Amino acid sequence: MTRVAFLGLGAIGAPMAKHLAQPPFELAVWNRTAAKARTFAFSAGTGVRVAKSPADAARGAEFVVLCLPTSQDVDTLLDGAEGLLAGIVRGSMVIDCTSGDPATSRTISARLAAIGVGYIDAPVSGGTAGAEKGTLTVMCGGDEALFERAMPVMRAFGEKIVLCGPTGSGDAVKAVNNALLAVHLWAAGEGLAALTKAGVSPALALDVINASSGGSRTTERLFPERVLSRAFPRTFRLALLDKDVGIAAGVARENKVPSPLLQLTSELFRAAHSMLGEEADHVEAVRVIEQWAGVEIK
Amino acid sequence: MTRVAFLGLGAIGAPMAKHLAQPPFELAVWNRTAAKARTFAFSAGTGVRVAKSPADAARGAEFVVLCLPTSQDVDTLLDGAEGLLAGIVRGSMVIDCTSGDPATSRTISARLAAIGVGYIDAPVSGGTAGAEKGTLTVMCGGDEALFERAMPVMRAFGEKIVLCGPTGSGDAVKAVNNALLAVHLWAAGEGLAALTKAGVSPALALDVINASSGGSRTTERLFPERVLSRAFPRTFRLALLDKDVGIAAGVARENKVPSPLLQLTSELFRAAHSMLGEEADHVEAVRVIEQWAGVEIK
Amino acid sequence: MTRVAFLGLGAIGAPMAKHLAQPPFELAVWNRTAAKARTFAFSAGTGVRVAKSPADAARGAEFVVLCLPTSQDVDTLLDGAEGLLAGIVRGSMVIDCTSGDPATSRTISARLAAIGVGYIDAPVSGGTAGAEKGTLTVMCGGDEALFERAMPVMRAFGEKIVLCGPTGSGDAVKAVNNALLAVHLWAAGEGLAALTKAGVSPALALDVINASSGGSRTTERLFPERVLSRAFPRTFRLALLDKDVGIAAGVARENKVPSPLLQLTSELFRAAHSMLGEEADHVEAVRVIEQWAGVEIK
Amino acid sequence: MTRVAFLGLGAIGAPMAKHLAQPPFELAVWNRTAAKARTFAFSAGTGVRVAKSPADAARGAEFVVLCLPTSQDVDTLLDGAEGLLAGIVRGSMVIDCTSGDPATSRTISARLAAIGVGYIDAPVSGGTAGAEKGTLTVMCGGDEALFERAMPVMRAFGEKIVLCGPTGSGDAVKAVNNALLAVHLWAAGEGLAALTKAGVSPALALDVINASSGGSRTTERLFPERVLSRAFPRTFRLALLDKDVGIAAGVARENKVPSPLLQLTSELFRAAHSMLGEEADHVEAVRVIEQWAGVEIK
């Protein structure tokens, strides 16, 4: 049996952890809101241990999987009498599925290395559906031997599992992917708002664009399903996409890449986040454009 | 037999016209460089008439198809002793497949209406391959009755043929589609330059992005085939994409849609156009980012 | 006596016209809201004729001075049975003090030239105070002989009177001046919001900046007097500054100058205009930044 | 006698240090290129000690003044057998006149506090002329008691000496000032390039703007003296202004202020720095716009 600790049972984390709640894995879980961990253990069936702290979860585990909102949350988890570092075992490793930032991940990796613990950043993509089906894409950064060692655990929830480069590379690729999503969302919002005001049906425009060179996952899926329908379901918070674009913009700056489009998109999402609040879905960023333009894209 | 005049035998126009060089169509062609028209007629076989002026081409035609670089080129064609207006027949109509700008198209439409000639803007998408196979997407703007009347002609070269709205709507949709292409190209260029400098293989990053939410036609096709390969084939001029983004940005301004991303993209392509010259391909815009960043995406 | 017609008795126009309400000038005035013209005539003393239409005002005048919100307003004034063109005298000239756009001014100039009437664009700067004191800066575009002919009239209200270049040049210089004001306002707003949140007193920061290389008319005057004081007096509408930045951005585009900063500033003011409405003062644009940032600069 | 160490004898540092080379100060100097320190000591007259390392300079000093290109240079100076920390005396203090970044300054301040050494950030403005005359503006961040203690030293080279707020505030104010300079420079460059292409004399346009609301230190001084004259003297490197705008943009991001203009300006200067190299003067950024636009502002 492979002993695994899973910390962070959110919308993505919980269905990921479920795949580890059965042999050959032996699972301990921890969540900041303890009730969520108990509910998870109850529904996951026998054999899931609810740990009372990060340290407690990590004790005896060969693998510690983290799935938290931000790298800062991971950082906060490490220290203190009941922090992760107090319980984690020399020779074990951390698989950090948080959509983190490369610089913080590198710092965390170095702190763990100093006490003989391995680390890879391993953010995922694919949404709750992918987490449930175990078909997530996992973007990893770090040492190749650690990546190989973590493979059996990641296969439980992932399908496309890729080593992108040195520590932080998984975070960087995830951030750039999400930044492109953000760029596509905002640019299509501007374009479709203009067409709608010009008397063109946005559904028809999307139909044409999706058959042409301007198409993207955003115009194929998000606009028809969520904007035109005025549904705007809340599946992925704008606050988190704002964070991700910010990380991608930071990767560009650190690498001295002049990047006006990414930086501007980052500011637009910062403004939208401020205007729409913490609970808004990422697609609702389009509402800011609609409000500015005085039109609904429908 | 339906008499058709085709003006503008460029890379897209020539293969489009070829579909009209056979029954039930009777074709007259004109091109600014007359040699091109003669070559076309020779290769298209018997029955194609090479007109000596726009007026000459239009004489007797029920449909005049235009496929020129810009609306300004169309405008220039109209006047003079041998201009289009001197030959075109009351009761006929113009199908303008130029990737034009809505305002100029509306002006041209009004001038034609005043002499009893119909007009629809009908820019196409699908490249030379689509033109050859007759599977272009055609985005139309104008009166519905004219659109229906033009349908048999457009079916010769188009597959998805859509009436987008009033005159200029086809131009607007085409411009927005191309502006999204431009945004996607530049944003992916920035992101991939940053990842490459951070030690991530861009091929691998594209593979992941194309399986995730940041994917687009651009990351699926243009980057793998043209950038990573360093091929940069010259299929669609940067100068023309610059023009198209400018048209889309203008549509947004005219409709009072605050559109920072489209406007910034327009300026970046204006700068790239100035830096790379008239002959560069649109994908070569990525070279500007590479030069600024001191890295090749490969 | 020099016969002058003055059309447009707004906040700037009325005090300008007052300088022409005495010998050697003989003044006729017209205003869209007729009551304003009557009030003006009453307070200006004997000898001011209140015209009942643009045509009526222009009849017999050697000089027609226009001071309207936009070039579109000028354009609207020209036509119709009682429009300016119906009354204006061959051999007279128009001095257009509207903050107009160069393209429309060129069109209007051409229409007037066709009927033997001269035209210079002559927008002014200096506010209501400058208008009252007769110390406005007047930026002119057009023919040098016309400029010289208009000089006695312009000297009545202007101090620095400059011929900037061909028709539209006055508009262009005015627009660029106002665009720089807009850029300075927004950039200082961003910087001071950041400093305020970082615990720095904005009054102190302004004091230092005004003694250093980052100072401008905006940091010297507008921020201390209107933002820090929270006074935000309504002296020049945001809607009009939005228009002016848009004109400057258009001048840059027409002249094929890549101009990312001017275009972005134009979009930010478009968004601010949409968010704050028609009556907001131009300095209130800073409120948008404050709202986004969750801080007051005070 | 007050014992002072001065590290960093560059274009600004050397004339600053000269004011400390006489009673009541007793000066030790150090420079990375030792020859510069020897030349300085020779020209400054008797009594200046040339230290052989940062540690050696700091030994016995009550005040250590730093004037280096970047905070990273300061950071590099601290450690090692002959680093600043190895020589600096408990109870002394550091006056850091580097145009640094607030975050690094806070880290350095904390490291020094841990060994009983005070720290204020105290970047200066006023150029070589101000340094020579002893009329610099000094923007300080840190503890008020330390600020007061440092005052006699700062008075030797400064005129306007201001405590802006907590540690890092001096850096932040300096960075924002320089960012405004950068914004003003680029925006005026765009506007004047457009006017020049439109047929307006830029000298005349500047004359009008400087009498109007769009004027700034940049349009009053830099453009007439350095751009129109085509002189472009090399007084302050573009590379350093790029760094400063980047710091200001970072202050805005850290404080969650949506700041599209500052971020875009930062990217434009990053691109200009890449295009023009390490030795270009900051005003030469205008050459990028000129090159893009195909015009010289003269």
The C-alpha atoms of residue B24 and residue C273 are separated, in whole angstroms, by 56
Is A114 buried (19+), middle (13-18) or exposed (0-12) by CB count in 10 A? exposed
Angle of CA points B233, B238, B244, to nearest 5°: 135
Alpha helices in C45-168 (DSSP H): 54-58, 71-78, 84-87, 102-114, 127-133, 144-155
Q: Rounded mean pLDDT of D148-170? A: 97
Tokens 């992101």 locate to B191
Angle of CA points A157, A163, A168, to nearest 5°: 100
* D119-134 pLDDT, tens digit each: 999 999 999 999 999 9
At residue C44 the predicted structure's pLDDT band, cuts being 50, 70 and 90, is: confident
Give me the pLDDT at residue B45, please.
76
Backbone φ and ψ for A136, nearest 5 degrees, come out as -65, 155
How many contacts does C have with D, using Cβ atoms within 8 A?
Answer: 264
Is D181 buried (19+), middle (13-18) or exposed (0-12) by CB count in 10 A? buried
Q: Rounded mean pLDDT of A34-57? A: 93
CA distance readout (Å), B186 to A184, A216, A257, B231, D190: 11, 14, 12, 18, 22
Would the pLDDT of C230 be above 90?
A: yes
At residue C30 the predicted structure's pLDDT band, cuts being 50, 70 and 90, is: very high
* A136-149 pLDDT, tens digit each: 999 999 999 999 99
DSSP C200: -
* D60-69 pLDDT, tens digit each: 999 999 999 9
From the list A246, A267, A274, the residue facing D260 with the nearest CB is A267
Q: Rounded mean pLDDT of A16-42? A: 95
The C-alpha atoms of residue D7 and residue D67 are separated, in whole angstroms, by 6
Instruction: Provide the chain A residues 205-244 that lie in CB contact (below 8 A) with chain B.
Output: 205, 207-209, 211-219
If one compares A46 and D187, the residue with the highest pLDDT of the two is D187
From the list C246, C256, C264, the residue facing B264 with the nearest CB is C264
Strand-pair category, A136-141 with A124-125: antiparallel
Query: Is the Cβ–Cβ distance between C241 and C276 less than 8 Å?
Result: no
The C-alpha atoms of residue D139 and residue D137 are separated, in whole angstroms, by 7
Q: Rounded mean pLDDT of C245-270? A: 98
Sorted by where each starts, the structural domains of chain D and their CATH numbers stand as: 2-165 (3.40.50.720), 172-293 (1.10.1040.10)
Instruction: Provide the chain B residues 139-168 that lie in CB contact (below 8 A) with chain D.
Output: none
Q: Rounded mean pLDDT of A214-242? A: 97
Would the pLDDT of C130 be above 90?
A: yes
Backbone φ and ψ for C142, nearest 5 degrees, come out as 140, -165
Residue of B140, B148, B149, B137 whose CA lies nearest to B169: B140
Would the pLDDT of D46 be above 80?
A: no
CB of A268 less than 8 A from some CB of D: yes
CB of D270 less than 8 A from some CB of A: yes
- State the best of D128, D143, D201, D216 to mutate against chain C, taking most chain C CBs within 10 Å: D216
Q: Rounded mean pLDDT of D156-174? A: 97
Give me the pLDDT at residue D183, please.
98
Give D189→chain B minimum CA distance, Å: 15
Backbone φ and ψ for A124, nearest 5 degrees, come out as -120, 160
CA distance readout (Å), D84 to B76, D30, D49, D158: 74, 11, 16, 25
Angle of CA points C194, C199, C204, to nearest 5°: 85
Would the pLDDT of D51 be above 90?
A: yes
Alpha helices in chain D (DSSP H): 13-18, 34-44, 54-58, 71-78, 84-87, 102-113, 127-133, 144-155, 169-197, 202-210, 217, 238-254, 260-276, 285-293
Count the Cβ atoms, other than its own, within 10 Å of residue A76.
Answer: 15
Give D272→chain B minimum CA distance, Å: 8
Give C199→chain D minimum CA distance, Å: 6
Q: What ipTM was estimated for this complex?
A: 0.95
Give me the pLDDT at residue C174, please.
98
B263–C267 CB contact, under 8 Å: yes
Residue of B99, B171, B177 whose CA lies nearest to B142: B171
CA distance readout (Å), A271 to A83, C268, C283: 35, 12, 19
Instruction: Specify the DSSP element, H or E, that contains B77.
Output: helix B71-78
C256–B266 CB contact, under 8 Å: no
For B253, nearest residue in chain A (alpha carbons): A194
Angle of CA points B135, B139, B143, to nearest 5°: 130
Q: Which chain D residues contact residue B265 at CB under 8 A?
A: none
How many contacts does A have with C, using Cβ atoms within 8 A?
Answer: 16
**Which residues on adjacent β-strands are paired with residue A137?**
A125, A160
Q: Rounded mean pLDDT of C81-102? A: 97
Give me the pLDDT at residue D44, please.
86
HSE at residue A13, side-chain half, CA atoms within 13 A, is 24
Residue of A296, A263, A269, A297 whose CA lies nearest to A281: A269
Give me the pLDDT at residue D144, please.
98
Would the pLDDT of C46 be above 80?
A: no
- For residue C102, the one-letter residue type is P
Strand-pair category, C49-50 with C25-30: parallel
**pLDDT one digit per residue (tens) for chain B, 298 residues:** 899 999 999 999 999 999 999 999 999 999 999 999 999 999 987 789 999 999 999 999 999 999 999 999 999 999 999 999 999 999 999 999 999 999 999 999 999 999 999 999 999 999 999 999 999 999 999 999 999 999 999 999 999 999 999 999 999 999 999 999 999 999 999 999 999 999 999 999 999 999 999 999 999 999 999 999 999 999 999 999 999 999 999 999 999 999 999 999 999 999 999 999 999 999 999 999 999 999 999 9
Instruction: Provide the chain D residues 173-202 that lie in CB contact (below 8 A) with chain C.
Output: 173, 176-181, 183-184, 186-188, 190-195, 197-201
CA distance readout (Å), D134 to C34, D46, D157: 63, 21, 4
Give me the pLDDT at residue D19, please.
97
D260–A258 CB contact, under 8 Å: no
Instruction: Specify the DSSP element, H or E, that contains C186.
Output: helix C169-197
Would the pLDDT of A44 be above 90?
A: no
- pLDDT mean across residues, chain C: 97
The C-alpha atoms of residue A77 and residue A200 are separated, in whole angstroms, by 52
Give me the pLDDT at residue A47, please.
86
